[in-house]
Amino acid sequence: MTTKTAVTVRVPAKVNLQLAVGPAREDGYHDLVNVFHAVALFDEVTVTGADSRPEGACAGLGVEDATGGGLAAHVARVPVDGTNLAARAAELVARTCGGPGAVPPVRLLLRKAIPVAGGMAGGSADAAAALVACNTWWDAGLTRADLLELAAQLGSDVAFPLLGGTAVGTGRGEVLSPVESPGRYHWVFALAEGGLSTPEVFAAYDRLRPDAPVPQGDPDLMAALAAGDAARLGAALSNDLEPAALELRPELGAVLECGRAAGALGAFVSGSGPTCAFLAESPDHAAAVAAALEESGRCERAVTAYGDVPGATPV
C-alpha cells in the first residue's frame, strides 16, 4: 500500500465540436455522434487517507472553488454525499480491490474551475480524475483499458476526460476514437447563472425533434480538424441540442449574438448548456471576445481556454 500523503489529478473540461443526437432509444438513451475536445479549464481531485471507517470507501468529500470566488454559486450546487460522481468513482475502484473493507478509507477534495451543470461535463471530469487518483492511492493496478471500462459504467461522458485531446464518441458517446488535430484553438466560454439539467434538455429535444434522423459525423468538421483550420472549424461547429437549450433559456440567444458581433469564428451552446462557447482567431482575440461578453452584462462571467489538452493527469 502507498506511503504517499496525497494524490492529486488534474482533469480538463470538454466542449463538443459536434453533437448530433438521434431519436430516443427504447432504453431512454440517445445515439450520438459527439466530437469531444478537451480544453484548458481544469478541476483537481485530491485523494488523502481518512481516519473514520465509513460504510463505503469514501469517508468524506469536500468541494472548493479553484477560481478564487468566480464559481462560488456553482460550487454550492455540488453534492458532497455518495451521489457525487467522484465519490461513486472511488467506490467503483474500491470494489475492484475486493470491496470497501479491503482498502483504507479515503477523503476526496474537489477543486473546481469547470462550471457546474454547465454542459462542460464537470462531474464526469471529476469522476475520471477520481478513478485515476484512487487507482494510484490504493495501488489498484488498473490499466488504462480497465479505467475506460469503469468510466463507461459511471456515465457516457466519463471516458473522454481520461483520454483528453479530441475524440469522436459514438453509441451513447462512450465509444471513443481519438482524432489527430495539429491545431491549437482559442476558446471563450460564457458562464451562466444557474445550470441546465441535461435530462431536461434531452426531453425538450425529443419534443422538438420527434423525427430526429440517425446521427452522422460531419466530414467538413473532420477536414477542418485535420487541417488545423480554425475558420473552417468555426463554420462547421454544430450542436443539435442548441434549439432545446435555447427554448429553456431564450436569453442565451443574445449571448451567442454578442460573441458573433465580437467576431467569433463560431458561436454555440456547449453540450446541454447553458454555457455558450465561442471560437476565436488568437489568444488576443479570445480576450477581446471575453471582454465584450462581460461588458454586455449578458453572462455571469467569460473565461478563455485553449484546446486541445491531455486528459486526467497526476500533478
Q: Which of 31, 126, 157, 308 is catalytic?
A: 157
Minimal distance, residue 174 CB to ligand ATP, in Å = 12
Q: Least Å distance between CB 94 and ligand ATP?
A: 17
Q: Which of 75-83, 135-143, 168-176, 220-228 is the region at the interface with ligand ATP (rule: CB under 6 A)?
A: 75-83
Ligand-binding site membership of 117 (annotated): yes
Q: Select from 118, 259, 307, 311 the one that contacts ligand ATP (CB under 6 A).
A: 118
Determine, following the binding rule CB under 6 A, whether residue 34 of this chain makes contact with ligand ATP.
no
Categorise residue 98: left if φ over 0, alpha if ψ from -120 to 50, beta otherwise. Answer: left
Q: Which three cell numbers stand for residue 254?
A: 443574445
- Member of 39, 44, 150, 157 binding ligand ATP (CB under 6 A): 157
- DSSP string of the chain, one letter each residue: ----S-EEEEEEEEEEEEEEEEEE-TTS-EEEEEEEEEEEEEEEEEEEE-SS--SSSEEEEEEEETTSSTTHHHHTTS--STTSHHHHHHHHHHHHTTSGGGS--EEEEEEE-SPTTSSS-HHHHHHHHHHHHHHHHTT----HHHHHHHHHHH-TTSSHHHHBSEEEEETTTTEEEE------EEEEEEE-SS---HHHHHHHHHHH-TTPPPP---HHHHHHHHHT-HHHHHHH-EETTHHHHHHH-TTHHHHHHHHHHTT-SEEEE-TTSS-EEEEESSHHHHHHHHHHHHHHT-SSEEEEEEE--BSSEE-
Query: Of residues 86, 264, 293, 299, which one binds ligand ATP by CB under 6 A?
Result: 86
Instruction: Please tell me whether 123 is known to bind a ligand.
Output: yes
Q: How far is the CB of 273 from ligand ATP (least distance, A)?
A: 8
Active site residue 4: no
Query: Is residue 117 a contact point for ligand ATP (CB under 6 A)?
Result: yes
> Least distance (Å) from ligand ATP to the CB of residue 168?
17
**75 lines the binding site for ligand ATP (CB under 6 A):** no
Q: Is 115 annotated as a binding residue?
A: yes
Nearer to ligand ATP, 110 or 256 (CB): 110
116 binds ligand ATP (CB under 6 A): yes
Residue 271 labeled ligand binder:
no
To ligand ATP, the closest distance from the beta carbon of 169 in angstroms equals 12
Residue 112 annotated in active site? no
Question: Within positions 174 to 213, which residues make up the interface with ligand ATP, using CB under 6 A?
Answer: 195, 198
CA distance 185 to 191: 19
- Per CB under 6 A, which of residues 266..285 are in contact with ligand ATP? 271-272
Q: Which is nearer to ligand ATP, 77 or 144 (CB)?
A: 77
Q: Binding site residues for ATP, as ranges?
A: 115-125
Q: Binding site residues, as ranges?
A: 115-125
Residues that bind ligand ATP (CB under 6 A): 77-79, 84-86, 110, 116-124, 126, 157, 195, 198, 271-272
